[in-house]
Amino acid sequence: MAKIIIIDDDESTRETLTTYLSELNFDTYSADCGKKGIDLVKKINPDLVISDVNMPDINGLEVLRQIKEFDDLIQVIIITAFDDMNTTIIAMQKGAYDYLEKPVDINRLKISINRSLENRKMSQRLESVTPNSSIEYELNNTIVGRSSVMREIYKKIGQASATRITVLIQGDSGTGKELIAKIIHSSGITKDFPFIAINCTAMPETLLESELFGHVKGAFTDAVKDKRGKFELAGEGTIFLDEISEMSINLQAKLLRVLQEHEFERVGGEAVIPMKARVISATNCDLHKLVEKGKFREDLFYRLSVFSIYSPPLRDRRDDIELLVKHFIEKINVTLHKSVRKIPDDVMKMLKMHDWKGNVRELENTLMQAIVLSKGDVLEKENLLLNDIKRDNEQDCLVGGNFKLEIIEKKHIELILKKTDFDIKIASEIL
């Protein structure tokens, strides 16, 4: 039977909770101040502590800190009449499992107790799937996957990176095109030079032209001094032209010339500048179809796709999901200073079965969200917000191949409202 200690200076709270928890068959103990509470924790080694914040001797947050220092696996739920923003934030940062206000809603407390004890059990039972420390640089510059399609991609990266050949990477949104470009750059002869990425949709044509090729002073109203473009800045490195399908016909002609002649001029300038950079472009459109429709120059398409790599959607390499999950958990732990290392079997199963419309990026974002919400070291099922967003809203989400943040936000709010039975107060706390 799970052991629970209640620490509260208020006698009636202690009594009510003790009675209630004993009825639920928990082994219940109580202390009327922080110090006694901590002594009791050390003596009894409980599964869970429920502690008040304002007490005459030590504050509940200090109690929380000392308990976590003594044994990180002991769960702590803070209950208080004093529910200001700062204490709530600090309590959650210090590893409280939950923070509830008085008078305690007994149903919410019960849910919290069960979840925290479940979390503790999982944590004791499961093995860690990731190491305790990792190198951030390597985590950001590694392609994960052992499926046969990924092995083919590794071979292609090996071939492409040994030369300065022009590469086109095609594949759905979020499948890792930019990552592949970076690895081609950093694993071969370009590695000691810059990698410069530019997104062809992000700006109007004239600005993009000057970003790519630079301009001279006076070339247009805002050109107050000479400026080097990305092709110059990349030197002998790599220039990554992302979303190349969005480039205007006009600029396509200019780019074609650069690729043919290996030289260019700054906008408004006359000096001819040699082009030494290797060009890698990427798109999530079928570029060949755009050529057929007359929206993309055929000659440019052939120039860009001398060497072509296709990055497959995640549904075609489900075998890689487990490895990707472990990899992202490790990466996200480093970024967020969290230590989620254990994954229950059913959670891994859900992740493997899910239809990842947004591919690897969606998987990574889902895990990021779950890890932010996780307490302790277990990836809890309740924090995986998978289903509803995608099921009833995939069309809206995938505008232009990208997830629109405001739609995801709206769906997330709706989901939390549903899950809390439209209790606006609880929903807003969770959100």
Contact residues toward ligand ATP (CB under 6 A) are 143-145, 171, 173-179, 284, 324, 327, 360-361, 364
Partner residues linked to 167 by β-bridges: 280, 307
Our CB check for ligand ATP shows the closer of 34 and 176 to be 176
Q: Which does 374 bind (CB under 5 to 8 A by kind): Mg ion, ligand ATP, none?
A: none
Q: Which residues bind Mg ion (CB under 5 A)?
A: 178
- Cα 57 to Cα 67: distance, rounded to the nearest angstrom: 16
Q: Which does 266 bind (CB under 5 to 8 A by kind): Mg ion, ligand ATP, none?
A: none
- Cite the DSSP H helix spans in 162-225: 177-186, 205-213
Our CB check for ligand ATP shows the closer of 4 and 280 to be 280
The least distance separating ligand ATP from the CB of residue 124, rounded to whole angstroms, comes to 30
The least distance separating Mg ion from the CB of residue 246, rounded to whole angstroms, comes to 12
Our CB check for Mg ion shows the closer of 130 and 281 to be 281
φ and ψ of 311, to 5 deg: -100, 110
- Is the Cβ–Cβ distance between 229 and 196 less than 8 Å? no
φ and ψ of 43, to 5 deg: -80, -40
The least distance separating Mg ion from the CB of residue 178, rounded to whole angstroms, comes to 4
The least distance separating Mg ion from the CB of residue 358, rounded to whole angstroms, comes to 12
- Cα 373 to Cα 379: distance, rounded to the nearest angstrom: 9
Q: Which does 34 bind (CB under 5 to 8 A by kind): ligand ATP, Mg ion, none?
A: none
Q: Which does 342 bind (CB under 5 to 8 A by kind): ligand ATP, Mg ion, none?
A: none
Our CB check for ligand ATP shows the closer of 251 and 360 to be 360
Q: Which does 360 bind (CB under 5 to 8 A by kind): Mg ion, ligand ATP, none?
A: ligand ATP
- What is the four-CA torsion angle of 18, 20, 24, 27, rounded to 10 degrees? 0
- Cα 386 to Cα 168: distance, rounded to the nearest angstrom: 32
Q: Which does 327 bind (CB under 5 to 8 A by kind): Mg ion, ligand ATP, none?
A: ligand ATP
The least distance separating ligand ATP from the CB of residue 231, rounded to whole angstroms, comes to 21
Our CB check for ligand ATP shows the closer of 10 and 178 to be 178
- What is the four-CA torsion angle of 68, 74, 75, 79, rounded to 10 degrees? -70
The least distance separating ligand ATP from the CB of residue 177, rounded to whole angstroms, comes to 3
Our CB check for ligand ATP shows the closer of 115 and 361 to be 361
Our CB check for ligand ATP shows the closer of 158 and 218 to be 158
- Cα 164 to Cα 277: distance, rounded to the nearest angstrom: 8
Q: Which does 145 bind (CB under 5 to 8 A by kind): Mg ion, ligand ATP, none?
A: ligand ATP
CA angle 340, 341, 345 (to 5 degrees): 110
The least distance separating Mg ion from the CB of residue 419, rounded to whole angstroms, comes to 32
Partner residues linked to 197 by β-bridges: 240
Residue with tokens 């890792």: 176
Residue 199: enclosing H or E segment and its boundaries? Answer: strand 195-199
Listed as own residue / partner, the contacts of 198-203 with beta carbons closer than 8 Å and 24 or more positions apart are 198/230, 198/239, 198/240, 198/241, 198/242, 199/242, 199/243, 200/241, 200/242, 200/243, 200/244, 200/245, 200/246, 200/247, 201/243, 201/246
Q: Which does 209 bind (CB under 5 to 8 A by kind): ligand ATP, Mg ion, none?
A: none
The least distance separating ligand ATP from the CB of residue 364, rounded to whole angstroms, comes to 5
Q: Which does 88 bind (CB under 5 to 8 A by kind): ligand ATP, Mg ion, none?
A: none
The least distance separating Mg ion from the CB of residue 242, rounded to whole angstroms, comes to 5
Our CB check for ligand ATP shows the closer of 4 and 244 to be 244
Q: Which does 119 bind (CB under 5 to 8 A by kind): ligand ATP, Mg ion, none?
A: none
- Is the Cβ–Cβ distance between 172 and 313 less than 8 Å? yes
Residue nearest to ligand ATP (CB): 176
Closest CA to 199 of 172, 171, 230: 230
Our CB check for Mg ion shows the closer of 96 and 244 to be 244
HEC letters along 74-108: CEEEEEECCCCHHHHHHHHHCCCCEEEECCCCHHH
Our CB check for Mg ion shows the closer of 280 and 340 to be 280
Q: How many helices (H) and strands (E) does the chain have?
A: 19, 14
The least distance separating ligand ATP from the CB of residue 189, rounded to whole angstroms, comes to 22
